[in-house]
Chains A and B, each alone.
Chain A
Amino acid sequence: MTEFLSFFKTLTPTGYLFLFLTVLTLFSAIGVVTARNPIYSVLALIATFFCLSGHYVLLNAQFLAAVNIIVYAGAIMVLFLFTIMFLNLRKEDEESKTNLTKMASVVVGGLLMIMLITIFRAKSAQVPTVSATSFSAKTGLVENLGQLLYSDYILPFELASVLFLVAMVGAVMLGKREAGDRHF
């Protein structure tokens, strides 16, 4: 207990913010999976994205924080909410909750957890400690990010854009109405 207290005494304000945000993130993430109503689930997911953006700000990656909010909270989650509102999933859908699906989801989830824990415990994945000499507070800012994206990571970046283009064309093809299609 005393160790615990002394740990809290050594924390900086940033440390307190980090702990607070982490608790909030975890609770809203748990809310996503436990909420019975899909709308509450989506709202909890939006809260999770906000907390993640808070973490990005703490890491001084403001651009990433803003883009996370614009893309995920601002666009994708609006579409999620939009679709769920249309589906009107108020009544419980009992068919998809048989014992078999429950067992399967527990097994899959457990395997994923074991995998993640092994990855995080591996020596090569340990987060290096901060050294005051090589630390630059400006690493996460837009200018540096842009420089990096358009020099070292130009190939993955361009490949991702091609992927988006393919996805867009695919969506247009799916949504296109052929001559004989039903008009609804």
Chain B
Amino acid sequence: MDLTVLLVKGIIILVIFGITLLIATYSTYAERKVAAFLQDRLGPNRAGPWGLLQPIADAGKMFFKEDFIPSQASKWLFILGPCLAMLTALMSSAVIPFGDSIRFDNYSIPVQGIEINIGVLYIFGVVSLGVYGIMVGGWASNNKFSLLGAIRAASQNISYEIALGLSMIAILMMTGSLSVRAIVDQQASFFEWNIFTQPLGFVIFLTCAFAECNRTPFDLPECETELVGGYHTEYSSMKLGFYLFAEYINMFVSSAFVSALYFGGFHYPFMNEVGSALERSMGAITGHNIATAIGFVVFFGKIFFFIFFFMWVRWTLPRFRYDQLMNLGWKTLIPLSILNVVITGAGLLYNFKYATWAIVIVMVLMVIVSGARAPKREAIPQQV
């Protein structure tokens, strides 16, 4: 590999790293603003214009707080916990293709940390490691509430990983490759986006992504009403900051992953027309680079939509009860995703990509029928 190529690759990796951190930082601000909007408040508006410096103020506060380690805690594991959480959160964005490719001279470099032919498995592996940060930290705190939070996190992640993996398998069957770039490239035309070919898989995947990120309605590991603060009860200062920050990074990465798997990644309608028009008017190299930049921006638009969706759900839905969580995971999502895989396979035998709509239609019909057959409840007038 050439030195220039290596340099550009290094810059791309650094930029992705920086963007990940920046987006995670401003997600905390966006979360407060969205929460404020949904609750009819103003939200942070004191630090800087429109409160834009709020995340920096928060970070400053976190750094200057007392860094407390409980005396009975296992000290090294207590420190290792947040480090692991942060590490696994940052690792997974390496294989996501953020854009097409940058061209200069004779080189063509994909806008992606690293292209490996098992990208999907890599992300899946890193995500499955994410629970260690929580488990190690929760156990090392030597606190019953932390331990319960850690154990909840472990059982929840393991339960939802299965459905997550099975819904991903349907995508892999459609593409025939484990590389994320190949999956994105396969969705080049608008109606071949996996959201249209795999509607049920998308719903399952999104639900499981919520569970894997420990976001509401699945934030039982840090359920305040039952567990004080959950796994980070004993944490303070920047260690707590790392846990909270890792959650936002996970949110960004899963948004990016959902957009890459189901919403065509950096593709947008009429992309080829725009690309060829740009190349005609500005020359092959500049035009191609500008087209890549547009794709990059479109991809981030999709990511921001999903980050907003995560926040929207958090401030709209109440938390599940624990048995509801387990029932949903094991008795609903796993059988549905297995059915999804089977129907997808049957459809692919006859070269029909939209077979899983059959499940969706049947489910909608069942809901309508059961709704119609349910006894009508008479409105009881209030007794005075």
Contacts and interface: CB of A to CB of B under 8 A. Distances in A.
B154 A81 contact: yes
Interface string A59-82: 000110011011001110011011
B166 to A, nearest CB: 13
Contacts of B154: 78-79, 81-82
B125 A70 contact: yes
Interface string A69-112: 11001110011011001100000000000000000000000000
Contact of A62 (B74, B77, B117): B117
Contact of A43 (B124, B125, B136, B158): B136
Contact of A85 (B117, B151, B178): B151
Contacts of B178: 63, 142
A141 interface: yes
A78 B74 CA distance: 19
Nearest to B147: A85
Count chain A CB atoms within 10 A of each CB in B124, B129, B147 and give the residue with the most: B129
A63 B147 contact: no
A52 interface: no
B304 interface: no
Interface string B145-164: 00100110011011001000
B248 interface: no
B17 interface: no
A78 B159 CA distance: 12
A182 to B, nearest CB: 19
Interface in A6-53: 39, 43, 46
Count chain B CB atoms within 10 A of each CB in A63, A70, A86 and give the residue with the most: A70
Contacts of B128: 69-70, 73-75, 78
A72 B180 CA distance: 23
The interface residues of chain A, by DSSP majority, are classed as: helix
Contacts of B74: 39
Report the contact-size class of chain B (Cβ under 8 Å from the partner): 20 to 34
A66 B136 CA distance: 22
A75 B135 CA distance: 13
B132 interface: yes
Contacts of A46: 132
Given A69-B125, A73-B129, A82 B151 contact: yes
B147 to A, nearest CB: 6
Given A85-B139, A86-B151, A66 B125 contact: yes
A62 B154 CA distance: 26
Contacts of B131: 78
B364 interface: no
B346 interface: no
Contact of A63 (B121, B132, B150, B155): B121
B180 to A, nearest CB: 13
A78 B121 contact: no
B118 A62 contact: yes
Contacts of A74: 125, 128-129, 161
Nearest to A50: B129
A167 B117 CA distance: 32
B159 to A, nearest CB: 11
A141 B178 CA distance: 11
Contacts of B77: 39, 43
A70 B158 contact: no
A142 B117 contact: yes
B342 interface: no
A138 to B, nearest CB: 10
B161 A39 contact: no
A119 B183 CA distance: 45
Given A73-B129, A82-B151, 17 more contacts: A39-B139, A43-B136, A46-B132, A66-B118, A66-B122, A66-B125, A70-B125, A73-B128, A74-B129, A75-B128, A78-B135, A78-B154, A79-B154, A82-B154, A85-B135, A85-B150, A142-B117
9 contacts: A63-B121, A69-B125, A73-B125, A73-B129, A75-B161, A79-B154, A81-B154, A82-B135, A85-B147
Interface of B: 74, 77, 116-118, 121-122, 124-125, 128-129, 131-132, 135-136, 139, 147, 150-151, 154-155, 157-158, 161, 178
